[in-house]
Structure 1
Amino acid sequence: MPRTAPAAVRTMLIERAAAMLGRREPVSLRSVVAGTGVSTMAVYTHFDGMPGLWRAVRQEGFARLSSRIASVEITDDPVRDLSALGVAYTENALADPDLYRVMFDAAADLDDPAVADDAFGALIGAARRAREAGRFRADVDPARVALRWWASGHGLMMLVTGGVIPADAARAESDVLAVALFVDAGDDPERCRRSVAAGRAG
Structure 2
Amino acid sequence: MSIQLGQIAPDFTQESSRGEISFHKWLGDSWGILFSHPKDYTPVCTTELAQAARLMPEWEKRNVKVIGLSVDSGANHVGWEKDIEETQGQSLNFPVLADEDRTVTDLYGMMHPECDPNITVRTVFIIDPAKKVRLMMMYPPSAGRNFQEILRVVDSLQTSDKYTVATPVDWKPGEPAIIPPSISNEKAKTMFPQGWKELKPYLRIVELPGK
TM-score tier, shorter chain, comes to: under 0.3
Please state which structure has a larger fraction of its residues in helix.
1
The normalised TM-score by structure 2 is: 0.26
Please state which structure has a larger fraction of its residues in strand.
2
